[in-house]
Amino acid sequence: MVKNANTIRQNRTKIGAQHLGIFFSMLVLLFLLFLFSVIPWGTAQFVVPLFQPSGDKLDKTGFVKFDGLVWASTTKDKESAIKGKNLKISKDLINKDYIFDFTYQERTLEKDGYVKGSNEFYTRSEVLGENAIILEPYIGFSILALDLALVITALFSILLPSRLGLIAILFDRQIEDTKVKIRLQTGFTDQIVDLLTLPDDKLAEKDFDEVKGAFRLVWNRTTVEDMDGGFRQAKFEDFFHDDINVVEFRNNTLYSRIKEFFSDFLVKEILDTKSSYQWRRNHFAIFKGLRLYMSHHITEKYQNLVTGMAYGGAAFLIVAVGIRGLKFIPSTKPSFILLAIFLEFTMLSLLSFTLIYTEEEERMDKMLKKMEDANRSQLEALRSQQTDIHQLANALVGQTADIIKTRVEKSIEQYMTSGDKVQQVIATEVARKIIFGLREDDDIKK
């Protein structure tokens, strides 16, 4: 039964082709959507209001929008004729003082009045200087497009059912993995771990006798033995009775005992696992599942990796700025600088998001105190074993030694009658050593 249950659990949390297919298909589609649609529109909304003609300049110069994400200056006479018609930009309609082109269309000097490649954004303004600014979105904005696509894909993957969503299946798997960690740290059975991590309403529906027996085991396991015997240990029956609210008993009394006997971190694992069940019921409770996955998987396994990536991004940005300072990157083509900036922004955002879910380190004195309390019962058990061994040794010194010698000689004699010659030789040597040692002890006592 246990093997079958484990197999069912593994199948339920196994990543399949449908998870990877949906996730990466959506990631690629969103990346292309952001790179070719959202980012050009967003860049235009940011750049044009900042560098378009304004004030007295706008009274003397016309400024109109052409078809697509294209704006340019023109004469006042042509402005009224062009406005609202979404005409294609043309050499005859613009005066080249202000040009903002955020399309993926190639422009030529003969037809359009300025030169731009199909993979470039073109910006000309008196505020920016005499030369036009050329942005290459494939270089400068690819990291930003990937970030946005990844965030949206991850959120959608969390909301999908676990049989389809990649992040959803990872959250589901982390619930089971964390329960295994709790079992290994405490030595409790799967049944007890389930009762400790169940949501409050589900625990209230459980059979009272089952809960009572499990909680009694937890109580006894978290009892700290008094070395001096100076006070009476609290009994389970003193706190647990037939009319008690099992949910309040677990959340208040039992969790406190586990915290004192084991650690704060163990209780945090139990509480986060219990909260994650709310996400399992309703995937819109994103932060319930996210906290468990980030706090007890990402921060534990990849904290150093994320920190190293953040430092690596900073190093890349420093190199990019240094190259720019040496004039190897012209001011009119800042795409490489944008790439470094967005890369470092991504790494620092990931680092800050990871640090939010990183558990606080426990004070060393509290950790030592809990280790001491947890080992008291083991020390007491070792003392009992020492007493038993001492009693056995005393028994061997007396008349029991003659009985043991007789039995040893008899066993070796039976072993020597074996038909195996090798066994006879070994048995003879063993018997000689043992008998010689025992007789030597008798001579010393006499």
SS3 (DSSP) at 62:
strand
- Residue 234 or 344, more confident: 344
Per residue in 20-47, pLDDT tens? 999 999 999 999 999 999 999 999 999 9
Q: How far apart are CA 282 and CA 442, in angstroms?
A: 79
Cβ atoms of 164 and 18 within 8 Å: the answer is yes
Question: If you average pLDDT over residues 42-57, what whole number do you get?
Answer: 91
Residue boundaries of the structural domains of the chain: 29-140, 160-301, 303-356, 398-445
SS3 (DSSP) at 412:
helix
- Residue 90 or 393, more confident: 90
Question: If you average pLDDT over residues 186-200, what whole number do you get?
Answer: 94
Token digits for 89?
A: 């930009």
DSSP for 184-216 reads HHH---HHHHHHHHS-HHHHHTS-HHHHHHHHH
Q: Identify the sign of the CA torsion 149, 152, 158, 163.
A: negative
Cβ atoms of 276 and 173 within 8 Å: the answer is no
For residue 107, pLDDT beyond 50: yes
Cβ atoms of 375 and 383 within 8 Å: the answer is no
CB atoms inside a 10 Å sphere around CB 203 = 19
DSSP for 308-340 reads HHHHHHHHHHHHHHHHHHTTSS-TT--HHHHHH
Per residue in 141-172, pLDDT tens? 999 999 999 999 999 999 999 999 999 999 99
- Which residues lie closer than 8 Å to 413 by C-beta, 6 or more apart? 431
* Residue 183's pLDDT band (cuts 50, 70, 90): very high
Question: If you average pLDDT over residues 377-399, what whole number do you get?
Answer: 54
**CA atoms within 13 Å, Cβ hemisphere of 278:** 16
Question: If you average pLDDT over residues 343-362, what whole number do you get?
Answer: 88
Question: If you average pLDDT over residues 78-86, what whole number do you get?
Answer: 82
Which span out of 14-28, 52-66, 382-396 was modeled with the highest average pLDDT? 14-28
